[in-house]
Each structure stands twice: as structure tokens, then as C-alpha cells.
Structure 1
Amino acid sequence: MKTLLVCKSVSHGNTRRIADTIGQVLDARVVDPSEIAPTDLTDYNLVGFGSGIYYMNFHPDLRRFIAALPPRPHGKAFHFRTSGTPEPPMLRYATTLSRRLEQKGFQVLDTFDCRGHDTWLPLRLIGGISKGHPDATDISAASAFATALRTRVTTTP
């Protein structure tokens, strides 16, 4: 199984830590969206897309990368994110990203979310929220997620 993770991690490296953990389990290469062309995904059986959450959405660079993907059958995908707070019920950015990937021709298998240290402007004044995350429990959960995902991909057509 050939796997690639397209990850945009900016502020504290939270999402990159999760990507590296998932990448180890899946034996996947981790790249920034600027390091690969949207047309270069054809050789991969599984592609993961991830970023921190910025202003209640995935990073704009990751969204632009996905928008530039040619609409055709791409295979299987998943996405992951880190954020200071859980996704608000009225703003379903994870569902929106899944739909965009499906419109581009991916079969979205699953998503992973965990807390990440967030120092967005007003929160910076108090040192941020979700300090210390992702922690050992989050890293373990990411590893378990990737293990289950690998099993699903290798046992389903």
C-alpha cells in the first residue's frame, strides 16, 4: 500500500507531530502542499490530508491544494486535524472537507481530530489553550487510528 500525507502545520508543529505518527504506522511520506503537485497523487492507494484549524477551518493552503485536484477517481483518503477546541456543531468544517474530497473522486474512509496548543490572537494573552497537546494520549490515539485505518484499507476492496 503506497500512502502519502499532505500536511500543513504552521504554528506549533502540532499537526506535524500527528502526521509523523500516522506516517510511521502507514509507512507514508509526509509533505507540505507546496512540495507536491495536485496531479502527483495518482500513484498512491491512500492519501491523508491534514492541518491545524485556523479561523474555524482547515488551513487555506490545504484547501487550495484540494481545490486544484483534478476531478477523477483518486482512491481512498482520510483527513486529520488539530485544534484548540472541538469542532462547533454549527460549523462542520470536517464534513465540508470530506465532501470536497468526495467531489474530487476520493472515497473518504475516516477522520482524526485531537487537541493542539492554540495561541490564536486573543488566546495568546493568556498563553493559549490546550497547552501540552498533542500529548502522549493524543499520539497514542493517532497511532491506534492509523493502525485501524491500515487494517481497513488492506481488507476492503
Structure 2
Amino acid sequence: MKTAICYYSRHHGNTRKVLEAMAGEGDVALIDVTTRQAVRLEGYDCVGFASGIYFGTFQNAVLQFARQYLPEGKAVFFVSTYGMFRPGYTKAIRQIAGEKNCPVLGEFGCKGFDTYGPFKLVGGIAKGHPDQRDLENARSFYQNLRLTHDRGA
């Protein structure tokens, strides 16, 4: 399965670490949405969107990228890293996918070291994440996604 994962990863590189683990499991192109390059996603079997969570949602650059480049009807999945889990992190990116009639294959999220805002005062939260277990879970998620897609489900 030829996959593109369009991502934003800054601060501690949490999201990039997770994506590199996934990329080791197949034909995966990692596309940094901040590089300002024109992108053609039509040639991929599926497209992932990945980001750390900022104020309860994906980073705005990822959302704008999806609005601009996501082809109609393309299968998608979502990856996020966060200091602490709360439901609804993928709501905005799911809405964009829905507007483009894109089937959602799944989503993966895990903790990531977070020192944003007030968390910096206490030395951050989710220290040590993503850890090896998180990375193994990310690999398993992508392997299962690939198997499901290859079976035509």
C-alpha cells in the first residue's frame, strides 16, 4: 500500500518519531506540511494526516493542507500525539475528510512529551513519550491498516 502521511511535528518531535516507526513498515512517504511544496496525493493508495494536538485539535497547517491537497474520495487515517488524552481531537480533520467524501480507515494516538504553556512550569507532562511501547503500537496500527486495505475491506 503506497501511503503518504502529511504531518506537522515541532517542539519535541513526538509526532515525527511515531511516523518514522510507521514508515518502517511499508511504502510510506512523510510529507512535512510546512515545506510549502505543491503536492500530488492522487498517486497514493491512502493518505494519513498527523499532528501534535494544539488547543484540542490538529495544528492549523495540517488542516489547511488537507483542505487544499486531499483528493476527493481518498482513503485517510489520522495520527496524533498529545500531553493528555481527551476525546474529539480529530473532529476538525474528520470534518474535512467528510466534506471530500473520504473514507476514514482509522486513527492512532499516543502520549507525547508536552511542555507547552503552563506545563513548562512543572517540567512538562507525558515525560518519556512516545516510548518504545507507543512506537510498537504505532507500527502495529499501520500494519493492521495496511492488511485491511490490501484485503479490500
1:39-50 equivalences under 5 Å are: 40-50=40-50
Matched, 1:141 2:126: no
Partner in structure 1 of residue 72 of structure 2: 72
Q: Does 1:96 align with 2:95?
A: no
Structure 1 distance, partners of 2:71, 2:105, is: 18
Q: Tell me the number of residue pairs that the alignment of Structure 1 and Structure 2 aligns.
A: 152
- Note if contact 1:71-1:105 (Cα within 8 Å) is conserved in structure 2: no
User: C-alpha distance in 2, partners of 1:71/1:31?
Assistant: 15
Matched, 1:116 2:115: no
The answer to which of 23-32 and 106-115 deviates more is 23-32
TM-score normalised by structure 1 residue count: 0.90
1:59 matched to which residue of 2?
Answer: 59
Cα deviations by residue, 1:69-128 (Å, 9 ceiling, x for unpaired):
36623x2110100000002x4xx2313322211212321110000000000111101110
User: Percent identical across equivalent pairs?
Assistant: 34
8 Å contact 1:69–1:104 — kept in the other structure?
no
TM-score (structure 2 length as normaliser): 0.92
Q: How does 1:10-49 map to 2 (within 5 A)?
A: 10-35=10-35, 36-37=37-38, 40-49=40-49
Matched, 1:152 2:148: yes
CA-based RMSD of the aligned residues comes to 1.6
Structure 2, unaligned runs of 5 or more: none
Would the alpha carbon gap of residues 147 and 123 (structure 1) be closer, same or farther in structure 2, given more than 3 Å must change? same
Q: Which amino acid aligns with 1:140?
A: E
Runs of 4+ in 1 over 4 A off after TM superposition: none
Alpha carbons 2:58, 2:92 under 8 Å: kept: no
Please point out which of 102, 109, 134 is paired with 1:106: 102
